[in-house]
Chain A
Amino acid sequence: MSDKMKSRGIGGWIFLGLVIISYALVGLVEPEATIQAWLFFENVMNRVLPVLGLVFILLFVANLLLEPKWIKQYLGTGAGPKGWFASVIAGMLSIGPIYVWYTVLNELQAKGMRTALIATFLYSRAVKLPLLPLMIHYFGVVYTVVLCLYLVLFAGINGIVVEKLIVQKR
């Protein structure tokens, strides 16, 4: 998929179009199964719809209050515990496609940002704050909390291990 298609969001619509075509093709061969699949989809969509509303609100708040400059400033300034903390928080708060953040991290890497902190930042992106309601909806509060805590913990471990492996190879 080209960058242009990605930025315009056409890729998603093409994907949806292909899925609809698949439904039509399967419908010709297995009409019963297609109706069952559609009913299943309706059922799931009814459950997911209210959660999507909450996701929209959280995305709006993130867009309103967070600026890439802010994240960049805090990531670039600190080494030590502050740097680790900033990497984890910035990773969790960073939204949008990962390609955008490669560019920011590339800049920070050139300015001397630690390899471990870059890896930590990228790992912390696994905790998607605006999507937590949906995760809770599917997997429950306990699972979501436990998984997120481990993701944060492993973000740091991951950073240290990656840095050590790279230094060893050098």
Chain B
Amino acid sequence: MNRISTDRLGKSFSKTIFSFFKILPIIIGMLLATSLVITLFPEQISTGLFGNGDFLDALLGASIGSIAVGHPLASYLLGGELLRGGVGLIAVTALLVSWVTVGIVQLPAESLMLGGRFAVMRNLVCFITAVIIAFVTVFTIRLIGIL
């Protein structure tokens, strides 16, 4: 097995530091923003925007995730806090999945690089599967809980 050189270790470390400091303001900003929104609108988040039944909530969660831009960490933070705020797990799961699989903002770039038809179809299928995964994940967890 090749030994990892000190040079490579140093390069990897500095690359990690750079990546980490790039995501750090996003994490702190997202946490601050989520804290403010949850403090100001706790009722509206759980019962106003969401709370229209599992299917509509899943569609809403998937829609938010599809248009959201940001590091996946932000979706965990937002999803976790929404969950604490009373939003259902199905809606939160749809948000988490669509956040990392659907990219409305990236659609032009994806179309240019991989073809318009591919990009549109892929994002459409990903949106639908985000909703399906949200349901099957929660049902599986409930089943595990029963067993």
Residues in A lying within 8 Å of B, measured CB to CB: 9, 12-13, 15-16, 18-20, 22-23, 26, 30, 33-34, 36-38, 40-41, 44-45, 48, 52, 55-56, 59-60, 63-64, 98-99, 102-103, 105-106, 109, 115, 118-119, 122-123, 125-126, 128, 131, 134-135, 138-139, 142-143, 146-147, 150-151, 154, 157-158, 161-162, 165-166, 169
Do B35 and A151 touch (CB < 8 A)? no
3 closest A-B pairs by beta carbon, nearest first, are: A9-B22, A138-B80, A12-B25
Q: How far is the CA of A23 from the CA of B16 in the complex (A)?
A: 30
25 example contacts (A-B, Cβ-Cβ < 8 A) are as follows A9-B18, A12-B23, A15-B25, A18-B29, A37-B36, A37-B38, A45-B28, A56-B16, A60-B13, A102-B110, A106-B113, A123-B101, A126-B100, A128-B72, A128-B100, A131-B76, A138-B80, A138-B83, A143-B89, A146-B140, A146-B141, A151-B97, A154-B129, A158-B126, A162-B125
Q: How far is the CA of A116 from the CA of B25 in the complex (A)?
A: 36
Chain B interface size, under 10 / 10 to 19 / 20 to 34 / 35 or more:
35 or more
Contacts of B20 in A (CB 8 A): 56, 59
Residues in B lying within 8 Å of A, measured CB to CB: 4, 8-9, 12-13, 15-16, 18-29, 31-36, 38-40, 72-73, 76-77, 79-81, 83, 89, 93, 96-97, 100-101, 103, 106, 109-110, 113-114, 117-118, 121-122, 125-126, 129, 132-133, 136-137, 140-141, 144
Q: How far is the CA of A64 from the CA of B10 in the complex (A)?
A: 9
Q: Chain B: which residue is nearest A18 at the CB level?
A: B29
Q: Chain B: which residue is nearest A136 at the CB level?
A: B76
Contacts of B19 in A (CB 8 A): 59, 63
Beyond the given pairs A60-B16, A63-B15, A98-B103, 13 more chain A to chain B contacts, judged by CB atoms under 8 angstroms and listed by A's residue number, are A9-B21, A37-B40, A44-B31, A56-B20, A59-B20, A139-B83, A146-B140, A150-B136, A157-B129, A158-B125, A158-B126, A162-B118, A162-B121
Contacts of B140 in A (CB 8 A): 146, 150
Do A16 and B25 touch (CB < 8 A)? yes
State which of A16, A33, A103, A154 has its C-beta within 8 Å of the C-beta of B29.
A16
